[in-house]
Amino acid sequence: MSSATSHRAVPAPQKIRESVKQKSALPWLTLPALFFFVVFAVVPLVGVLALSFANWDGIGAIGVAGMENWTSVLSDPELYNSLGLTFMIMIVSWLVQTPISLLLGVFTAGTQRYRAALAVLYFLPLLLSSAAVAIAYKALLDPNFGLAMGLGLPFLAQDWLGVPQLALGLIIFVIAWQFVPFHTLIYQGGVRQIPKSLYEAAQIDGAGTIKQFFHITLPQLKYTIITSSTLMVVGSLTYFDLIFVLTGGGPGNSTRILALDMYLRGFRANLMGPASVIAVILVVVGLALALFLQRLGGKDQQGSQLEGM
Amino acid sequence: MKQFQSSRRSFLALAAVTPFAVMATSACGTSGPGSASGGGASMWFLTGEPNQTTMQKAVDAFGSANPDNKIAVTYFQNDAYKTKIKTAIGAGQAPTIIYGWGGGGLKTYADAGQVEDLTSWFDSNPDLKNKFFPSSFGAATVDGKIYALPNQYVAPIVLFYNKDLFDKAGVQPPKTWEDLMSLVKTFNDMGVAPLSLGGQSRWTSMMWLEYLLDRIGGPEVFQAIFDGKPNAWMDPAVIETGTKIQELVSADGFIKGFSSITADSKADQALLFTGKAAMMLHGSWTYGAMKKDGQNFVQNGKLGFVNFPTIAGGKGDPKNGVGNPAQYMSISAKATDKEKESAKKFFKDGIMTDTVVDAYINSGSVPIVKGIEAKLDSSPDKDFLNFVYALGKDAPNFQQSWDQALSPTAAEALLNNIDQLFLKSITPQQFAENMNATLGK
């Protein structure tokens, strides 16, 4: 070391020590999070995996079942019905919710006062609990005592929740009604992040509103779309309360999605082993979907969205 | 000085936190055994009037007479309770007194050694045992041992009808299945739904199967299923039952939209007393609810009730009943001796007192206590009460509701398959086969 550096280093050791301290403290900062992750995620996960190879009615002693639960669940047509319904609700919900919340998000991103007022209105459904939403819709849709008869509109008095196709469609509608506000909020935030200068430049070049939307807004929202879609898709695996209250999985098995199937097997039929198998399947499907959606974003997702402007 | 300050501060913090910690631990304790105030027992019961008030009054009266054996009650909603109690027992957190419906659920608890064997206790208290209908002990018994105290009231399934609509149509309540099928046509032509049904609840649809199977094949068919005999579900009577159900559905017997109506919302009862539906097969417990909600429908004598119709060539006695012979209370095997003693004392002196019996009669129910004929006769609901009493007392066979009699695993499969049978998405043959696969589970 030269004397020049030692001169300048008079106040430095303190700083260096501090920065070293900070660096070495960083791993410790993750400990609380790690603790909760292990206690509330890893331990139950291992427990469920173990239970999926066990015989348990939820009350008596736990016995070893080997592969029995897995073979019986995997050969059960009900599983594939539930799996199909889960994907159906997932895909149709995405197709319904994404355009609506994207357009609403773009619309409410403006700063006019009336837009702010409307944004508050749009946001209201999200403030209600799923159970309350389900009970309210159930009462409104009752073909004999519901809204249709109250308003004297008998053509609306369909057996909404009693016909398999109608019930499924209705569930997708109610899910959209409840969750569009949340995704609207995400898109609103995304749109507000887009630099004004891009639009100003486009306007100078003579691009209209529609051109601006497709050439600036939509590409700039790429990562917002991926974030919102990930939440939508992975979240749709856990739609439970709404469907449980609205249809209970019926009529027949026409709305018995995977999460509901797991609950009914475990807590109604006392089959904790097979229910755990379904729980494991849910985890695997959820992880696979989340990873797939991350891949869609590509590696450059880590970089800045504003690069090259 | 600094040292002192910080230690004083931590002392103060400790002092501030301690009461919360104590509160938290004691609050947690009330849900588990062994923490009821006064060293007594804990009990879980169902919300909903009039039974909740009746139970609270009984507990209060018992508590003031026995300050050392107070019972701490927590109330839960019916469907939520069914899941909660199972989970609590599995986790070793059951209350001292476990409320239930006997049958298959109780057998699960007994097999797991979670409930006390009360046989010898009943033997040493013969007065208590002789107080109740003998038929009420069936669902409390597992392998010849009594695991529960029968209590509350007998609740058979009854065919209710709207007298106004029957007068308007100029018809009589059905005595045979043919009568019923022709009434379906009559009321459909009038633009009135023949039968109300809360089909989304599924056990409501099950009540039709219970009676049909009993009338067609006699009680032996379900007994064989209950005993887990091989191919018991493949009995021709089961398939004929399913066929009759689908005939009734095809003839538009049930109100349009029945599969989206729930029994919890009581919409099925409302359909009957508002004149939108002519008949309803339902538990006798709906009488009290219709009396309360039906705007004098019951009080003005517009509610009719008959036994389930007979079926030509059927083997079952037309006097046979189905439904709930009683409700049941067991004692957790995990409770302390002191708690068990409190619970037994409550069973003996607190639960079915004269006051409680009167309260049940006033709410339109028939308590399972013998020798109440005079009380029933002096009630404003004496026609209905005597009808239910006779049904409970004179029935050669009183079949417990299937979803309670069977194991939870078989019961869930049953409800699921019944739902599909009513929707006609499976045939009666498939129904029998699907159920046959659950035998012994």
The helix-helix angle for B219-226 and B203-217 (nearest 10°) equals 120
| CA pseudo-torsion sign B117, B122, B128, B130 | positive
In this structure, what token pair is assigned to residue B27? 């609050």
- How far, in Å, CA of A208 to CA of B95, rounded? 70
Q: Cα A96 from chain centroid?
A: 14
Residue of B nearest to A56 (CA): B90
Tell me how many degrees the CA angle B118-B322-B369 measures, rounded to the nearest 5.
45
Q: Which residue of chain A comes nearest to B82, CA vs CA?
A: A268
C-alpha distances (whole Å) from B335 to each of A74, B73, B96, B294, B306 are 40, 15, 6, 43, 45
Cβ pair B260:A143 closer than 8 A: yes
CA torsion angle for B70, B72, B75, B76 (degrees, to 10)? -130
Name the token pair of B107: 């057998």
Best A55, A59, A138, A271 residue to mutate vs chain B (most B CBs within 10 Å):
A59
Judge: B261–A271 Cβ closer than 8 Å, yes or no: no
The CA-to-CA distance between both ends of chain B, in Å, stands at 72
Cβ within 8 Å of residue B440, ≥6 positions away: B228
Kindly report the nearest CA distance between residue B83 and chain A, in angstroms. 6
Averaged confidence pLDDT in chain A: 84
Residue (of A225, A237, A238) closest to A293 by Cα position: A225
Residues of B whose CB is below 8 A from A265: 412
Residue A150, pLDDT above cutoff 50: yes
Cα distance between residue B375 and residue B386, in whole Å: 10
Give how far A265 is from chain B: nearest CA, Å: 8
3-state secondary structure at position B441 = coil
Which tokens belong to A51? 């239970």
User: What number of C-beta contacts closer than 8 Å exist between A and B?
Assistant: 94
Environment class of B137 (CB within 10 Å of its CB; exposed 0-12, middle 13-18, buried 19+): buried
**Who among A142, A251, A267 is closest to B86 (CB)?**
A267
SS (H, E, C) chain A: CCHHHHHHCCCHHHHHHHHHHHHHHHHHHCHHHHHHHHHHHHHHHHHHHHHCCEECCCCCCCEECCCHHHHHHHCCHHHHHHHHHHHHHHHHHHHHHHHHHHHHHHHHCCCCHHHHHHHHHHHHHHHCCHHHHHHHHHHHHCCCCCHHHHHCCHHHCCCCCCCHHHHHHHHHHHHHHHHHHHHHHHHHHHHHHCCHHHHHHHHHCCCCHHHHHHHHHHHHCHHHHHHHHHHHHHHHCCCCHHHHHHCCCCCCCCCCCHHHHHHHHHHHCCCHHHHHHHHHHHHHHHHHHHHHHHHHHCHHHHCCCCCCC
What letter would DSSP give residue B335?
A: S
Which chain A positions have a beta carbon within 8 Å of B420's beta carbon? 252-253
- Chain B residues within 8 A of A144 when measuring between CB atoms: 255, 257, 261, 267, 270-271, 276
Quick one: tokens of B197?
Answer: 């049904």
Nearest CA in chain A to B270: A145
Nearest CA in chain A to B196: A144
For residue A253, the chain B residues in CB contact (below 8 A) are 416, 420
A159–chain B nearest CA distance, Å: 5
Tally Cβ neighbours within 10 Å of residue B172.
Answer: 12
Q: What pLDDT is stored for residue A298 in this prediction? A: 65
Rounded-to-integer distance, Cα B397 and Cα B286, Å: 22
Chain A neighbors of B142, CB-CB under 8 A: none
The one-digit pLDDT tens for each residue of chain B (441 residues) are 344 444 444 444 444 443 333 333 333 333 344 344 456 788 998 887 778 888 888 888 888 888 888 888 888 887 778 888 888 888 888 899 999 888 888 888 998 888 989 888 888 888 888 888 887 888 888 888 899 999 888 999 999 999 999 999 999 999 999 999 999 999 999 999 999 999 888 999 999 999 999 999 999 999 999 988 999 999 999 999 999 999 999 999 999 888 888 887 888 999 999 999 999 999 998 998 898 888 899 999 999 999 999 998 889 888 899 998 888 999 988 888 888 888 888 888 888 888 888 888 888 889 888 888 888 888 888 899 999 998 877 788 889 999 889 988 999 999 999 999 999 999 999 999 999 999 888
What one-letter code names the amino acid at B86? K
Q: Which of A268, A272, A276 to mutate to test the interface with B (most CBs of B within 10 A)?
A: A268
* Inter-chain CB proximity B259 and A269 less than 8 Å: no
CA angle (B37, B42, B43) in 5-degree steps: 145
Contact A57 B108 (CB under 8 A): yes
CA dist A136 and A41 (Å) reads 33
Helices B428-436 and B236-250 cross at an angle (nearest 10°) of: 140
Is this complex scored with an ipTM above 0.85? no
More confident call, A80 vs B28: A80
The answer to whether A270 contacts B408, with C-beta atoms less than 8 Å apart, is yes
A59–B112 CB contact, under 8 Å: yes
Flag if B260 and A159 touch (Cβ within 8 Å): yes
CB contact under 8 A, B86 and A61: no
Nearest CB neighbour to B109, from listed A59, A164, A264: A59
pLDDT category of residue A24 using cuts at 50, 70 and 90: low
Is it true that the peptide bond before B50 is cis, omega within 30 degrees of 0? yes
Distance from CA of A152 to the nearest CA of B (A): 16
Which chain A residue shows the shortest CA-CA distance from B265?
A139
Contact between chains at A59 and B413 (C-beta distance less than 8 A): no
Residues in A touching B419 (Cβ below 8 Å): 250-252
Alpha-carbon gap: B412 to the closest alpha carbon of chain A (Å): 5
User: From the CA of A249, how many Å to the nearest CA of chain B?
Assistant: 9
* Per-residue tokens: B354: 């004269």
- B-chain residues within 8 Å CB-CB of A139? 265
Burial-class residue B181 by CB neighbours within 10 Å (0-12, 13-18, 19+). middle
pLDDT at position B235? 92
The full DSSP string for B374-412 is HHHHTSTTHHHHHHHHHHHHH-S-EEEPHHHHS-HHHHH
Contact A267 B425 (CB under 8 A): no
Which residues are CB-contacts of B242 (< 8 A; sequence separation ≥ 6)? B209, B421, B427, B428, B429, B431, B432
- How far is B108 from chain A, CA to nearest CA, in Å? 8
Distance from CA of A90 to the nearest CA of B (A): 23
Rounded Cα gap, residues A259 and A87, in angstroms: 12
How does DSSP classify residue B142? E
State whether B409 and A271 contact (CB < 8 Å). yes
Q: Which amino acid is at A60?
A: G
